Homo-oligomer: A and B are copies of this chain.
Amino acid sequence: MDLVTLADIRAAQNRIGDVAVRTPLIPAPWAPGNGQLFIKPEMLQPIGAFKIRGAFNKIASLTADERARGLVASSSGNHAQAVAYAARMFDAKATIVIPDTAPAHKVAATKALGAEVILVPPAERDVVPRQLVADRGYVLVPPFDDAAIIAGQGTIGAEIADDLSDVDLVLVPVSGGGLISGVATAIKALRPEARVVGVEPELAADATDSFRTGRRVEWSPEQTHRTIADGLRTASVGVLPWEHIRAYVDDIVTVSEDEMRSTMRTLVVDGRLVAEPSGAAATAAYLYARERLPEATRTVAVASGGNADPALLAEILAIG
């Protein structure tokens, strides 16, 4: 299986330049410890999450004929909005398959970006897109198990290495594994001395299990849906991401629900950034799991997204 290369990632950088924000590294002098922490604030992307990088790179990599056939994706989260947003920039039709259990505001946000939404029972979320590909000729935009998606997310790693040439630790949340695959590919190519460590919720630690056992482990949806980090509930990492994780990732650690909530508060109060629980996970590892991380003078935590429920934010801020 061919792995994504730095050349693929540089090509993705050229494609997404006018669409994705080139997020700066934000110093976090409020973080304790002797080293320095920087936040990579991907919540500042147009749809509030890094997903726009992969989705736009994938759609831009298609031929005009393929785009004209229409695009389809399955997602209840940030990937849905990313595909809708990117498709609109190409005047391409996007159809998003969303489980009928998803919150109404996420459905509305996807429709507001001009996509057609098809609500299906959760069990059919992967079947229906494949039917649409077969019946209507749509092109599938997968959330993570795809080389162009991984290359797009990898632009984050290239930007980190370009901006902080002596980075020695990069913390990245893991769900399907597209983000960490791309980031690790770029970091190991540009700064081989740096370690790349994945972060997962304790309650959805399938990638940690996989990393420990050396084989791709699957957790049940009942297990992974216990975490508030709705962006990190994928049952297992993808096939192609798993090959990248085996090749490039140094470790995977877990954080607790309370640690993610507390970090959301810290990011708002001290970092002036809004992170959803998934987006707070990597910073939480720095703040609460340092003894399980490699020694580092300069650490970057990827804050992957900021589409947090306002009621949850209000609750977390009121407690302090």
CA distance in complex: A317, B274 (Å): 12
The dominant DSSP class at the A interface is: mixed
Question: Oligomeric state, in number of copies?
Answer: 2
Q: List 14 A-B contacts (CB under 8 A).
A: A21-B24, A24-B24, A26-B44, A27-B46, A43-B272, A44-B272, A44-B273, A48-B272, A272-B273, A272-B307, A310-B320, A313-B317, A314-B315, A318-B318
> Which B residues lie within 8 Å of A314 (CB)?
313-315, 317-318
Q: Specify which chain B residues have a CB less than 8 angstroms from the CB of A247 in the assembled complex.
A: none
Given known contacts A24-B23, A27-B21, A272-B273, A311 and B317 CB-to-CB distance under 8 angstroms: yes
Q: Tell me the nearest residue of chain B to A43, going by C-beta.
A: B272
Chain B residue at minimum C-beta to C-beta distance from A22 = B24
Report the minimum CB–CB distance from A96 to chain B (whole Å): 18
Would you call A310 and B268 a contact (CB within 8 A)?
yes
Pick the contact of A318: B268, B306, B311 (CB < 8 A). B311
Q: Does A103 contact B (CB under 8 A)?
A: no
Interface residue? A62 (CB, 8 A): no
- B-contacting residues, A277-312, CB 8 Å: 306-307, 310-311
Q: In whole Å, how far is A93's beta carbon from the nearest beta carbon of chain B?
A: 19
A192 within 8 A of B: no
Q: A residues engaging B (CB < 8 A)?
A: 21-24, 26-27, 29, 41, 43-44, 46, 48, 265, 268-269, 272-275, 306-307, 310-311, 313-315, 317-318, 320
- Residue contact A272 to B274, C-beta cutoff 8 Å: yes
A310:B317 contact, CB within 8 angstroms: yes
A305 → chain B, closest Cβ, in Å? 8
Q: How far is the CB of A312 from chain B (nearest CB, A)?
A: 9
Q: A311-B318, A314-B314 are in contact. Are A46 and B29 (CB under 8 A)?
A: yes
Leading 6 A-B pairs by shortest Cβ distance: A272-B306, A314-B317, A43-B272, A314-B318, A272-B274, A310-B317
Q: How far is the CB of A230 from chain B (nearest CB, A)?
A: 16
Instruction: Name 19 extra pairs, CB < 8 A, besides A44-B273, A265-B310, A310-B318.
Output: A21-B27, A22-B24, A26-B44, A27-B46, A43-B272, A44-B272, A48-B272, A268-B313, A269-B310, A272-B274, A272-B306, A274-B274, A310-B317, A310-B320, A311-B317, A313-B314, A314-B315, A317-B317, A318-B318
